[in-house]
């Protein structure tokens, strides 16, 4: 992954002796990971590691503990994990490990159960914008890293890209089901057949997920157009799109004409803020299927695929962590890892979260430069 050097600024003193000792005994001398499942009252189903991936970690000397039942959403039993050397424990025991893995950010009550000076690796989520959660992370001196905000040594947001691809592909899978008779649609095929036109799919946005959705629709035989309010963004994504996908700038008249004939509309992130005009709602087809990628993550329907795909780069991540003797070493030497840090050495280092929660934040690169 890639980052600059991390340390403390003038106001950030060295780690307290107790915290240093805990880190020394934990992530630096021998990496021990605790993986916890998702909250029962959430819609989240995804997990970060498969049994086989855990086996690769344990065989390399990394100890893995997992909350009992955490793998149920991806159809893996506790026994499947235990066969690969994973220790099945209670949630509280998993939270006590020096490195905690959770797809969702932990809530404040669970953060308080973590060992002081430990590390939390998760995906960015709403709970990290809760002041109570941030305060708990800072109080416990938890080093929090969001994998989907980190970059590889090749400056690729590999974890985010994997999720985007799956979200885009599953969005089209949802659309196919919705158009079918069994899905409550009018009973049509997304692709065209001899003598019939294919369905029309309109993707609004130029994000990675939008590109994958457009390609999936085109690959399934649909007539697909991708629209954005920035022509340069369309030029940038052109090489990543299948040749049959049209690239069109968002223009009121063009948008109105496209909306009238679209069978599927997938909304994503545009370069500049865009709100679908309410006046066009009356122009939509009766059975049009609309999905907003800004409001949902279709990949929750295929959590096993997510776990299998995420496991590959995560294994590499832990291998590098071993080389650097823990997450602290990775942060100090890897700019891409720094990019994903939310809290570090008792400081909030994510400017966006700081602004949203009205809490003071510091630049992690400044922290590192003043320490080293």
Residue 313's pLDDT is 97
Q: Which residues contact 356 (CB under 8 A, 6 or more apart)?
A: 129
Q: For residues 343 and 138, is the Cβ–Cβ distance under 8 A?
A: yes
* DSSP letter (8 states) at residue 326: S
Instruction: Judge contact between 120 and 102, C-beta under 8 A.
Output: yes
- Is pLDDT above 50 for 155? yes
CA angle 213, 148, 97 (to 5 degrees): 140
Residue 372's pLDDT band, with cuts at 50, 70 and 90, is: low
DSSP state of 84: T
pLDDT of 61-92, one tens digit each? 999 999 999 999 999 999 999 999 999 999 99
Q: What letters, b where the CB count within 10 A reaches 16 and e where it falls short, cover 103-131?
A: bbbbbbebbebbbebbbbbbbbbebbebe
- Distance, first Cα to last Cα, the chain: 20
Q: 141: helix, coil or strand?
A: coil
60 confidence band (pLDDT: 50, 70, 90):
very high
Q: Quick: pLDDT tens for 278-299.
A: 889 889 998 899 999 999 999 9
For the chain, list the domains and their CATH numbers: 17-153+302-371 (3.40.50.720), 163-300 (3.40.50.720)
Q: Are 348 and 134 in contact (CB under 8 A)?
A: yes
Q: How many helices (H) and strands (E) does the chain have?
A: 15, 13
**pLDDT higher for 112 or 193?**
112
Residue-wise pLDDT tens digits, 133-152: 999 999 999 999 999 999 99
pLDDT, tens digit (0-9, with 9 covering 90-100), for 3-57:
444 444 444 434 444 444 444 444 345 799 999 999 999 999 999 999 999 999 9
Q: How far apart are CA 147 and CA 193, in angstroms?
A: 42
CA–CA dist 260, 336 (Å, integer): 44
């Amino acid at each position: 992954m890639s980052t600059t050097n991390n340390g403390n600024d003038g106001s950030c003193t060295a780690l307290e002796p107790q915290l240093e000792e805990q880190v020394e005994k934990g992530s630096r001398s021998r990496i021990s990971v605790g993986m916890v499942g998702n909250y029962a009252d959430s819609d989240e189903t995804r997990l970060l590691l498969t049994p086989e991936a855990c086996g690769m970690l344990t065989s390399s000397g990394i100890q893995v503990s997992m909350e009992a039942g955490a793998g149920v959403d991806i159809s893996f039993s506790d026994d499947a994990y235990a066969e690969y050397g994973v220790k099945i424990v209670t949630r509280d025991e998993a939270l006590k490990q020096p490195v905690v893995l959770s797809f969702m950010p932990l809530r404040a009550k669970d953060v308080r159960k973590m060992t002081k000076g430990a590390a939390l690796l998760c995906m960015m989520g709403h709970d990290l914008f809760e002041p109570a959660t941030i305060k708990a992370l800072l109080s416990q001196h938890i080093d929090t890293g969001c994998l989907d905000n980190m970059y590889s040594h090749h400056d690729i947001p590999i974890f985010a890209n994997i999720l985007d691809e799956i979200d885009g592909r599953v969005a089209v899978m949802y659309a196919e089901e919705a158009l079918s008779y069994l899905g409550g649609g009018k009973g049509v095929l997304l692709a065209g057949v001899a003598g019939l036109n294919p369905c029309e799919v309109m993707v609004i946005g130029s994000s990675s997920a939008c590109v994958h959705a457009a390609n999936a629709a085109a690959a399934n035989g649909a007539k697909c157009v991708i629209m954005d309010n920035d022509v340069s963004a369309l030029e940038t994504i052109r090489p990543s799109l299948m040749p049959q996908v049209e690239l069109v700038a968002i223009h009121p008249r063009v948008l109105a004409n496209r909306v009238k004939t679209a069978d599927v509309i997938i909304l994503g992130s545009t370069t500049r803020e865009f709100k679908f005009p309410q006046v066009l709602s009356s122009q939509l087809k009766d059975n049009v299927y609309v999905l907003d990628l800004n409001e949902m993550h279709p990949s929750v329907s295929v959590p096993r695929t997510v776990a299998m795909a995420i496991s590959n780069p995560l294994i590499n991540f832990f291998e590098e962590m071993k080389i650097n003797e823990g997450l602290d070493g990775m942060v100090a030497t890897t700019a891409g890892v720094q990019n994903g840090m939310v809290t570090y050495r008792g400081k909030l280092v994510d400017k966006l979260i700081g602004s949203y929660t009205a809490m003071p934040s510091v630049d992690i690169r400044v922290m590192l430069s003043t320490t080293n």
